[in-house]
Structure formats: C-alpha cells, structure tokens
C-alpha cells in the first residue's frame, strides 16, 4: 500500500515594524511659553513612545533648555517621582497671563460670517478651558449662545438647547439649512432681511427727503454763487460803482463770439470753399536764467550739513550691540522680541533711544506682576571712563 503523505502546517513569517520614537519639543521657561500646553504635548509623546513614569522623568532633562534646564539641575535630587516633578514644574513656570488673555479673547469673540459651527465651537471651548478649567457645561452653553451668529441664534432661542452637544447638533442643522437655501435660491447665507434689524425707516422717508433736498440746495448755493441785483438801484449805489470803476485799472473785456447756428450736411455742401488762413505761431518764450543770491551761492559751494544719524546707529549699547526697537533690550531683534509676541505695547517707531533700564509702561507692568522668573540682561555696560560718550559718533560718508 502506498503511504499517505501527512500535510504539515507552515506558519508564515511575521514581520514586526518598529515604530519610530517621537521627540518632544523643547521648553525654555520663557514668559511667552505655556507650561501646561507643553506638558500636554510631552504626555502625548510619552504615550506614543510607551514611557512609564521613570522614563518620563529621565527623558525630561533632554527636553528642557535654558532656564528650565538650570531649574531641573538644581532640583534633580529632590524630584524623585514624575507627579512631584510635574507639580513643581507647573508651580514654577505657570503663566497668569494665559488666563487673562483667554478671558479677553472670550469677551470679544464672535462667530465670523464664513466660520463654520465646528471650528467656532472648538475654538470657543478651547478658550473656555484656558480661562476657567473648572467651567461647567451650563457656563459653556451660555457663552456659545452669546457669541453665535444672529441667524442661528434666532432659531435656537425658540427651543433652547440644554447641553453643548444639543447646541452643536441644532446649530449644525441650521447651518446646513442656510447653505441649502443659499445654493437653491441663489441667496447668500449672510444676507439678513431688512425687517430683522428692528428699525423701520419707512415713516421717516419723506422727512429724510426734505432734509436731503435742503442740504443739497445749500451746497449748490455755496459752489455756484449767483449775483442777484435788486430791481431798483439807488443813486448812491450808482455813484459808488462809478467811483470804484474809476479807481480800478482797465481790464480788457473779452466778448464771446456769437455761436454759429448748427448747419446741416446739405448747407455745408452749398457753402463756397474758404481760403486757407495761416495762423501766426505764438512767440517762443525762453525760461529766465536762475539767479542765486550771494547767500544761496555760499550755501551751495559751502560744506553740506551733516546728515542725522540713522536709528540703527543710535539704538545700540556702549559695546555696539543692537537694541530691540520694541522693548529696548539687547540680545534680540524686533521680530524675535518675546514681549511683542505676547501682544504687549512697546516703544513708538518715532521714540528716541531709551535710557538705561528704561522700558515701555506695558512691559514694565507685566514684569512687575509676573511671578515667573524673567531673565533680564543688562542692555549696556557703563563706561569706566567719565569722559567716554555712550552715544556713537555719526558714520562718516
């Protein structure tokens, strides 16, 4: 008998692809950086890399730069757990301006004409989380109802939603209905009816027309003054006109040529040909030669006045380091100024060079009430020589 072949099951090889590890962004501890946003990003990277608490604490050193790294080095022995490290990090580098800025943005926030409900709701909820992390659902719903568009608010006020999810559902349905109306009836969704404004001007239209007529009549009288003479002229007025005419120089009176009647084509064909008249050319006038006084001649041939020094030469420290045009500090330029990125008001473009340790008022108030350490470098060094001038000499031309 032939032997039966036994089929063997062969398992296919499994290919394991290694996931590339992510690197968290660096945190420097600057005033314009947000420690809470950075910690959220660091936690996402740690979850992707499957770090536990110990690897998170060990890799934290490589994600810190500048003042934040110095802070970690001085407290590394006391930071024995990841939770304690996070608490100390937030307590040290928290930014109170984060909450104030979010509250200001919420106060002036409204839904744009072309802004969708999804982007609008997410942005408002993000600002609410920054301004008040413990905000209730009722407070969020009240803010959304206050800043939503008038078209959608008019539909929501009839059946007010009770939760944020209901608000998003109802507002999205109304937004789709407005878009369908615009595409079907060729009407833009942002166009509002005239009666929705709450002000009816139909009864006052005749009154407005009378006012417009009076204003136009007065303006025309100012532009086109008419010389109205009285019907009866007294003898005194006649004598006064004659005396004024006698003392005034004779002005040649130009008499307008009488307008010729409009001729038809047949009349023009019957007219005899006229001889060609040569019109003499007007005399050519030569421009007078420029005459300069002796004082002007001395000014032309004398030494020119020295030009004013440029701002790039004046706004510098004693060791020729440039100063920032926004805050007046050395070490960075205008477009990289951290106070300008915070939205704080700086020096005016026409302001003179600031004095030693002089800052704008908004920046001075911010540094005074900010609890986070700000690395304020001295902008210039005092000269050891009492006769040495701090202002640079003008550049030779």
- 63 vs 396, residue with greater confidence: 63
CATH of the domain at 177: 1.10.1200
pLDDT band at 368 (very low <50, low <70, confident <90, very high): confident
| 52, 69, 95 - which closes a domain | 95
Whether 158 maps to a domain, the answer reads yes
Domain housing 122: 98-185
**pTM summary value:** 0.39
**Closest to 97 (Cα-Cα) out of 367, 305, 312:** 367
Cα distances (angstroms) measured from residue 388 to each of 163, 310, 392: 71, 21, 10
Are 124 and 141 members of one domain? yes
Q: Phi, psi at residue 27, to the nearest 5°?
A: -120, 125
Report the distance separating Cα 93 and Cα 70, nearest Å.
13
Residue with tokens 């304690």: 84
pLDDT band at 379 (very low <50, low <70, confident <90, very high): very low
The sign of the dihedral angle between the CA atoms of 164, 167, 173, 179 is negative
Q: Give start and end residues of each alpha helix (H) in the chain.
A: 35-49, 53-59, 67-74, 82-93, 97-108, 117-131, 137-147, 150-156, 164-185, 205-223, 235-247, 265-270, 294-301, 311-314, 338-341, 361-369
Report the distance separating Cα 366 and Cα 347, nearest Å.
15
Whether 378 maps to a domain, the answer reads no
Report the distance separating Cα 323 and Cα 333, nearest Å.
7
| 125, 151, 185 - which closes a domain | 185
Whether 391 maps to a domain, the answer reads no
Cα dihedral 46, 49, 53, 55, rounded to 10, equals -110
Are 132 and 105 members of one domain? yes
| Mean pLDDT computed over 10-27 | 73
Are 127 and 181 members of one domain? yes
Sequence-separated (6 or more) residues with CB below 8 Å from residue 301 = none
Report the distance separating Cα 93 and Cα 338, nearest Å.
16
Contact 192, 152 (CB under 8 A): no
- 172 vs 381, residue with greater confidence: 172
Contacts 24+ apart (CB under 8 A), 46-52: 48/19, 48/21, 48/22, 49/21, 49/22
Report the distance separating Cα 303 and Cα 284, nearest Å.
39
Are 160 and 118 members of one domain? yes
Whether 325 maps to a domain, the answer reads yes
**Closest to 81 (Cα-Cα) out of 102, 58, 63:** 58
Report the distance separating Cα 75 and Cα 88, nearest Å.
10
Are 79 and 109 members of one domain? no
pLDDT band at 45 (very low <50, low <70, confident <90, very high): very high
Report the distance separating Cα 11 and Cα 303, nearest Å.
97
| Mean pLDDT computed over 59-77 | 90
pLDDT of 292 higher than 70? no
Sequence-separated (6 or more) residues with CB below 8 Å from residue 343 = 101
Q: Tokens for 328, please give them.
A: 């007046």
| Mean pLDDT computed over 110-118 | 87
Q: How many domains does the structure of the chain reveal?
A: 3
Whether 127 maps to a domain, the answer reads yes
Report the distance separating Cα 397 and Cα 375, nearest Å.
39
pLDDT of 170 higher than 80? yes
Whether 193 maps to a domain, the answer reads no
Whether 206 maps to a domain, the answer reads no
pLDDT band at 384 (very low <50, low <70, confident <90, very high): very low
Tell me the DSSP string of 268-324: HHHSPPPPPPPPPPPPPPPPPPP---HHHHHHHHSPPPPPPPPHHHHSB-TTSPBBP
Report the distance separating Cα 124 and Cα 129, nearest Å.
9
Q: Return the pLDDT at 64.
A: 92
203-262, pLDDT tens digit by residue?
A: 556 667 777 888 888 878 777 755 455 555 567 777 777 777 776 665 555 555 556 667
Whether 48 maps to a domain, the answer reads yes
pLDDT of 3 higher than 50? yes
Cα distances (angstroms) measured from residue 237 to each of 230, 233, 241, 249, 318: 11, 7, 6, 20, 80
Calculate what percentage of the chain has a pLDDT beyond 90: 5
Calculate what percentage of the chain has a pLDDT beyond 70: 64
Cα dihedral 190, 194, 197, 199, rounded to 10, equals 170
**Closest to 329 (Cα-Cα) out of 301, 350, 304, 358:** 358
Contact 120, 148 (CB under 8 A): yes
User: Is 15 in a helix, a strand, or coil?
Assistant: coil
Are 77 and 133 members of one domain? no
Q: Return the pLDDT at 242.
A: 77
pLDDT of 132 higher than 70? yes
Are 50 and 90 members of one domain? yes
Mean confidence (pLDDT) of the chain: 75
Q: Return the pLDDT at 42.
A: 92
């Amino acid at each position: 008998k032939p032997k039966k072949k036994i089929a063997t099951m062969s398992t296919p090889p499994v290919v394991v692809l290694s996931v590339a590890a992510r690197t968290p962004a660096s945190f420097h501890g600057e005033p314009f950086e947000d420690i809470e946003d950075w910690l959220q990003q660091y936690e996402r990277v740690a979850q992707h890399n499957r770090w536990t608490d110990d690897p998170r604490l060990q890799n934290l050193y490589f994600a810190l730069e500048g003042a934040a790294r110095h802070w970690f080095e001085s407290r590394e022995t006391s930071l024995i757990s990841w939770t304690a490290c996070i608490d100390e990090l937030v307590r040290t580098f928290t930014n109170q301006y984060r909450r104030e800025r979010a509250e200001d943005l919420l106060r002036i926030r409204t839904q744009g004409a072309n802004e969708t409900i999804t982007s609008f709701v997410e942005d408002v909820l993000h600002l609410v989380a920054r301004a008040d992390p413990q905000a209730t659902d009722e407070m969020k719903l009240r803010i959304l109802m206050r800043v939503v568009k008038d078209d959608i608010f008019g539909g929501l006020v009839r059946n007010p939603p009770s939760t944020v999810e209901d608000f998003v559902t109802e507002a999205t349905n109304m937004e789709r209905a407005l878009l369908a109306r615009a595409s079907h009836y060729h009407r833009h969704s942002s166009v509002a009816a005239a009666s929705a404004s709450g002000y009816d001007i139909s009864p006052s239209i005749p009154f407005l027309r009378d006012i417009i007529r009076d204003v136009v009549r007065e303006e025309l009288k100012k532009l086109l003054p008419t010389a109205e003479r009285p019907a009866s002229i007294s003898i005194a007025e006649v004598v006064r006109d004659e005396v004024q005419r006698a003392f005034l120089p004779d002005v040649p009176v130009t008499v307008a040529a009488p307008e010729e009647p409009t001729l038809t084509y047949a009349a023009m064909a019957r007219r005899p040909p006229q001889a060609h008249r040569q019109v003499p050319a007007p005399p050519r006038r030569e421009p007078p030669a420029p005459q300069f006084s002796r004082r002007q001649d001395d000014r032309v041939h004398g030494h020119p006045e020295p030009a004013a020094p440029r701002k790039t030469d004046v706004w510098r420290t004693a060791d020729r380091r440039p100063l920032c045009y926004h805050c007046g500090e050395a070490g960075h330029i205008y477009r990289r100024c951290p106070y300008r990125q915070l939205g704080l008001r700086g020096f005016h473009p026409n302001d003179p060079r600031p004095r030693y340790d002089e800052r704008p008022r908004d920046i001075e108030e911010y540094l005074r009430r900010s609890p986070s350490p700000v690395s304020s470098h001295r902008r210039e060094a005092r000269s050891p020589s009492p006769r040495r001038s701090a202002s640079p000499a003008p550049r030779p031309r």
